[in-house]
Chains A and B, each alone.
Chain A
């Protein structure tokens, strides 16, 4: 399988924050979700792919080319959507587009107009008059209008209402219909875009937790709920993360079969959501540090 992005053993240090030994791929033709709590290193990893930050160690490959120095050609093949506003506030959408479009050899004006209409954006509006969600839509329209091979979206659902978030799912699945394009999005809210994600890369506190298909992740984890009398030190050791209260406990076990052997019918075993996996994994790590 070909890889749009390959991150190998990447490290980066910023003061007390450290990314360490990060390995993962964005596979061609698939949607990959980069998830983790705030401050886990997601945005830094994305900035590295965009060549805005250089790793201290390890390497990053885009479309099979190792990143070294500036490479505008590689960047042109990426559509980038960020929650940070990198447009000029005082310009209208029309003027801003005029500045941006010449950077892309394959700019498709018709497609861009189609998106403006679909997103109900008026090209005479000034950037500063746009709401957060509208800025995100404009950013998305630009990213989708130059036949990018890879779409990278940093927290794309921030500021979008639920109606448009659903619409975004349709837009993105349309983009990968021909199986040559790839999508990477980062998010700390995992319950909307993860519907369509094929692979999940989970980072926590600067470390990689896993890079797996979403189906495998959801199948191998199990949420266990039961009475406190079931817990002893051995049993606690099974959990990735656990929350104990006066009336029982709930916790995440990353090996479903082991949980079934240990608890049988004594506890409730449920399928966790990705959000629960993120919650208990980051909580558990904090408890053991």
Chain B
């Protein structure tokens, strides 16, 4: 797993770490049970504060993506595949809702929208 921190992006460093570890888990690069570097090791590697890496891991724990055990370290949690699918489904629904709203604003009917969607869907399939 690679973690690259950008100093010029306005995003806080802890959020960058969360996003990149989350992405590694979603892509299956990090599997359930895989050990993450300790917060001190990661802070050393990235030359950042221990408090920043700790906060990133706490955020990943809250999202249910990793489990931390005192004295043993942090691991990718087992439930995450389904969990992530659910999260992504929610995100997909939100995007569809946005498309529906935009269609209404442009006075595009339901059938026309479905037609557009199936064209796009099939176009990307082939």
Listed in ascending order, the chain A residues whose CB lies under 8 Å from chain B are: 29-31, 166, 169-170, 173-174, 176-177, 179, 195-199, 213-215, 219, 270-271
User: How many A-B Cβ pairs are below 8 Å?
Assistant: 44
Listed in ascending order, the chain B residues whose CB lies under 8 Å from chain A are: 10, 12, 14, 40-41, 43-44, 47-52, 55
Q: Say how far B42's CB is from chain A's closest CB, in angstroms.
A: 10
What chain B residues lie within 8 Å of A179 (beta carbons)? 40
With A177-B41, A215-B14, A271-B10 already in contact, the answer to whether A170 and B49 are too (CB < 8 A) is no
Q: Say how far A168's CB is from chain B's closest CB, in angstroms.
A: 11
What chain B residues lie within 8 Å of A197 (beta carbons)? 49
CB pair B41–A196 under 8 Å, yes or no, is no
Q: A173-B44, A215-B12, A215-B52 are in contact. List 13 more A-B contacts (CB 8 A).
A: A30-B51, A31-B50, A170-B44, A173-B47, A176-B50, A177-B44, A196-B47, A196-B48, A197-B49, A199-B51, A213-B49, A215-B14, A215-B49
Q: Say how far A201's CB is from chain B's closest CB, in angstroms.
A: 14
What chain A residues lie within 8 Å of B41 (beta carbons)? 177
Among residues of A, the one whose C-beta sits closest to the C-beta of B49 is A198
Contact partner of B43 (CB less than 8 A), chosen from A196, A199, A213, A270, is A196
Among residues of B, the one whose C-beta sits closest to the C-beta of A273 is B7
Contact partner of A195 (CB less than 8 A), chosen from B12, B48, B50, B55, is B48
Q: Say how far A276's CB is from chain B's closest CB, in angstroms.
A: 15
What chain B residues lie within 8 Å of A215 (beta carbons)? 12, 14, 49, 51-52, 55
What chain A residues lie within 8 Å of B52 (beta carbons)? 215
15 pairs, CB–CB < 8 Å, chain A vs chain B: A29-B50, A31-B49, A173-B40, A176-B40, A177-B41, A177-B44, A195-B48, A196-B47, A198-B50, A198-B51, A199-B51, A213-B51, A214-B51, A219-B12, A271-B10
Q: Say how far B94's CB is from chain A's closest CB, in angstroms.
A: 25
With A177-B41, A219-B12, A271-B10 already in contact, the answer to whether A170 and B51 are too (CB < 8 A) is no
CB pair A30–B48 under 8 Å, yes or no, is no
Among residues of B, the one whose C-beta sits closest to the C-beta of A271 is B10
Assembly CA distance A176 to B52 (angstroms)? 15
Which residue among A177, A219, A270, A271 has the maximum number of chain B CB atoms within 10 Å of its CB? A177
Assembly CA distance A227 to B68 (angstroms)? 49
What chain B residues lie within 8 Å of A174 (beta carbons)? 44
What chain A residues lie within 8 Å of B48 (beta carbons)? 195-196
What chain A residues lie within 8 Å of B55 (beta carbons)? 215
Contact partner of A169 (CB less than 8 A), chosen from B14, B40, B47, B50, is B47
What chain A residues lie within 8 Å of B40 (beta carbons)? 173, 176-177, 179
Assembly CA distance A96 to B15 (angstroms)? 48
Assembly CA distance A214 to B12 (angstroms)? 12
What chain B residues lie within 8 Å of A271 (beta carbons)? 10
Contact partner of B49 (CB less than 8 A), chosen from A166, A196, A219, A270, is A196
Assembly CA distance A214 to B43 (angstroms)? 14
CB pair B47–A195 under 8 Å, yes or no, is yes
Assembly CA distance A271 to B10 (angstroms)? 7
Q: Say how far B96's CB is from chain A's closest CB, in angstroms.
A: 30
Assembly CA distance A173 to B43 (angstroms)? 8
What chain B residues lie within 8 Å of A177 (beta carbons)? 40-41, 44
What chain A residues lie within 8 Å of B49 (beta carbons)? 31, 196-198, 213-215
Assembly CA distance A49 to B1 (angstroms)? 43
Among residues of B, the one whose C-beta sits closest to the C-beta of A213 is B51
With A177-B40, A215-B14 already in contact, the answer to whether A30 and B47 are too (CB < 8 A) is no
